[in-house]
Amino acid sequence: MSTKPTASNAAYADLVDRLATAIPMEIAIRVAKTVDLEEFQRLHALNEEIKALWVSRGFSEESIKSEGYVDACWDIFQLGYDANLRINNVYAKSTIKEFKRTSIETRKQFQGKIESIRLVFADRYRVCDLLNGNNIGTVIKEVDSKIKEIRNIENGKSIPFGAFVHSLRRPVKIRRGAIQQVRFPKDSVTNSHLGLLLESNMTQEDIEGALHDFLYHYAMFRIEGKPIEHRDRVHLELINKWAEPIANKPRSRSLQYNALFTQLNGLYCWDRRREFGAERRGSMKYAIEETQKLYSSPPDAKAIANHYEKIDRKIRESISRLKRI
């Protein structure tokens, strides 16, 4: 099969990148639910409690989701720092003050309840990404409605914001062996410092990823608590280097869009079959028909069945590997 992309523009590259990073996480979520449903449900219940606390403090559910406020709390519990990526957001001082106050209150109320995080794959993915994942049906519908327009955009042309696929959550990877540390000043003269610690046995991918991620975190650390006019040249250049055109970053650029996107069919079909009852007669037919309903021009049943089998095989193989550990 040829690995030459079928289109070359920022919207297409962004979509392929999102698919390439989100699909392994979606498989991990289903494996985690299968092998440790009790821990998944425990953390999910705590997630709902944390969200309720933020709502009670005046934050809307929409802002909690879009700004990642609860996600940031999970990052503090899991990683010790906020891993959310907010490049251009500007907040009023009152919002920042309330965010910090509610964050502290959240840690006090829930640190003891959470105790430890034992969820499978929490060493590779953020807990908030595993708990939330993607609404696969919504993603398929949005891509189906936009892919023709995306493919027809000429490279270098201005791309409208609406042409990008926004419903597909891109997980923030955890780099095994990397730790961020902040050293705060003991007096009012010394500056604070942000550092990155790397274990001596990390993989090359994790080393490169941690160094790349650090560009963003240091750039944001540089202006933390300062007004927007302090976004100096160094801050902007670091952000630009971190957010260089996505087509130049991951090796996933060589992957075909179809090979990635059809895995969403497999995931959605897998979910619907288990919702119906995988052992019940007619469950596969039901799951395929539900998947076809998402499309303006549905794929044929045989194709979707093939997509399902590939995803089911990946999930079963992951479960088998875990059982051998």
pLDDT digits (tens, 9 = 90+) for 250-287: 444 445 788 999 999 999 999 999 999 999 999 999 99
Residue type, 137: G
pTM, two decimal places: 0.83
**Whole-number Å distance between alpha carbons of 260 and 96:** 39
pLDDT of residue 225: 61
Q: What is the pLDDT of residue 233?
A: 83
Angle, CA 33 vertex, CA 104 and CA 271 arms, to 5°: 120
Do residues 274 and 33 lie in contact, with contact meaning Cβ atoms separated by under 8 Å?
Answer: no
Q: Residue 201: its pLDDT value, please?
A: 93
CA nearest neighbour of 133 among 180, 167, 82, 103: 167
pLDDT tens digits for 205-218?
889 988 988 988 88
Which helix (H) or strand (E) covers residue 288, if one does? helix 283-292
pLDDT at residue 5 tops 60: no
pLDDT number for residue 122: 92
What is the DSSP secondary-structure string of 18-45?
A: HHHHHHHHHHHHHHHHHH-HHHHHHHHH
* pLDDT at residue 237, as a whole number: 87
Which amino acid, one-letter code, is at 176? R
What pLDDT does 157 receive? Answer: 77
> What mean pLDDT, rounded, does the chain reach?
87
Q: What is the percent of the chain where pLDDT is above 70?
A: 87
Q: What is the structure's pLDDT at 203?
A: 92
pLDDT, position 33: 95
Delimit the domains of the chain by residue range: 10-22+134-170+256-324, 37-118
